[in-house]
Structure 1
Amino acid sequence: MKYLYSLLLIVICYQAQAQHTAASVQFWEKLSAHCGKAYEGKLVSPESDPRFQGRLVMHVRSCEDGRIRIPFFVGDDRSRTWVLTMGEDQLIQLKHDHRHSDGTQDEVTQYGGKASNSGSATIQFFPADQFTAELLPAAVGNIWWISVDENSFTYNLRRLGSETLFSVKFDLTKPVDAPEAPWGWKD
């Protein structure tokens, strides 16, 4: 009976582990299905911000093994790329690649965080990592999250302990023409 109980416990743990990793993989696959497509978005919060005036477009431009790169364009500004990486632990990391128009890296780049759990098939959370805390001390309380479903992709930032909330939502039901390459992009 002890043997059967131990075996049952192993099976339950294995199933829990499989379910644990499946959510992040499902999210990854849902996002990867949009590779090569671009979508227009709108600022949700705040409702207006002078730094984000102009047409907002995301382009799921590159889906490589373990890495998805999504340039985010604000009008003619092609400086931002969201970089998602799937680790061997099947947890996803989000980094922000910021470039100048000549392609060189901005001083403030490669900040972000890694999911602390598998999230769900439609949402992943990324608390600020140590690199971010050292690069941008005010961002130590940042939590980014991305949600994706059949209709929309939403990128969000909340800075804990402050009023900072940023959210931009893209309509996945209406692809748009793919924009130019982001600054510094090499295919």
Structure 2
Amino acid sequence: MMKKVILSMLMLAFQFSFCQSESGSDEFWKTLKSYCGQSFEGEITAGASADDPFTGKKLIMHVKSCEENRIRIPFFVGEDRSRTWVLTSQDNFITLKHDHRHEDGTPDKVTQYGGTSTNTGLSTIQFFPADQETCDLIPHASTNVWWITVDDKSFTYNLRRLGTERVFTVSFDTSKPIETPNAPWGWEE
């Protein structure tokens, strides 16, 4: 009887470890890396208003740089090439930062805001609540939560400012790569 119990426990442990061989963040990271070198056109699918600076502009993301633990994704709004989403993976957690540059490549005074996932998340979605650096830099953004969704057909970048009506989503069709745009401002090859 004891051998059966031990054998059953070992089998359960093996099944659990097999099912947990990769975390949601690992699978998410692999999907993100599969886009490397490609560019995609997007559209605002939530939060657009007539006076929004993104409205009516061509929106392009370029998964430009994929290192082992860092992926950089420039996000162009028309001719404005000031924004890059920087994702960093460490110990099964992913950090999202927003790198903003001026046309001459110097950092904007509002840059490097974002947050780190609080758990390993799912393979198709990761959440990034505002971190302390963001709270110090942009106090009204202290309740921001960003999230990114990925799968084999789409990538969405989302923002929700809790306690307000602020919401923003831009969606990209990753099944239709487009021509690679010029480098973002301040980019060093």
TM-score, structure 2 length as denominator?
0.89
Residue number in structure 2 paired with 1:41: 42
Query: Per-residue displacement from partner, 1:23-46 (whole Å, max 9, x unpaired)?
Result: 100000001001000000001112
Alignment partner of 1:73 out of 73, 76, 88: 76
Alignment partner of 2:134 out of 127, 132, 137: 132
Alignment partner of 1:166 out of 168, 181, 186: 168
**1:16, distance to aligned residue in structure 2 (A):** 9.2
**1:15, distance to aligned residue in structure 2 (A):** 2.8
Residue number in structure 1 paired with 2:154: 152
Q: Distance in 1 between matches of 2:107 and 2:27?
A: 32
Paired residue type of 1:165? V
Paired residue type of 2:28? F
Q: Distance in 2 between matches of 1:135 and 1:152?
A: 31
Query: Per-residue displacement from partner, 1:131-158 (whole Å, max 9, x unpaired)?
Result: 1111111111100000011211000000
Paired residue type of 2:65? S
Q: Is the 8 A contact 2:48 2:168 kept in 1?
A: no
Paired residue type of 1:135? L
**1:125, distance to aligned residue in structure 2 (A):** 0.3
Q: What is the RMSD computed on CA atoms of the aligned residues?
A: 2.3
Q: Is the 8 A contact 2:127 2:148 kept in 1?
A: yes
Q: Counterpart of 2:23 in 1: which secondary structure?
A: helix
Answering whether residue 54 of structure 2 is matched by residue 58 of structure 1, we say no
Residue number in structure 1 paired with 2:116: 114
Residue number in structure 1 paired with 2:98: 96
**1:50, distance to aligned residue in structure 2 (A):** 2.9
Q: Would you say how many aligned residue pairs link Structure 1 and Structure 2?
A: 184
Would the alpha carbon gap of residues 47 and 139 (structure 1) be closer, same or farther in structure 2, given more than 3 Å must change? Answer: closer
**1:18, distance to aligned residue in structure 2 (A):** 3.5
Would the alpha carbon gap of residues 163 and 116 (structure 1) be closer, same or farther in structure 2, given more than 3 Å must change? Answer: same
Q: Is the 8 A contact 2:37 2:64 kept in 1?
A: yes
**1:68, distance to aligned residue in structure 2 (A):** 0.3
Q: Distance in 2 between matches of 1:65 and 1:76?
A: 30
* Gapped regions of structure 1 (runs ≥ 5): none
Residue number in structure 1 paired with 2:28: 27
**1:17, distance to aligned residue in structure 2 (A):** 9.6
**1:4, distance to aligned residue in structure 2 (A):** 4.3
* Gapped regions of structure 2 (runs ≥ 5): none
**1:47, distance to aligned residue in structure 2 (A):** 3.3
Q: Distance in 2 between matches of 1:110 and 1:98?
A: 7
**1:22, distance to aligned residue in structure 2 (A):** 1.6
Q: Distance in 1 between matches of 2:186 and 2:19?
A: 39
Q: Is the 8 A contact 2:87 2:94 kept in 1?
A: yes
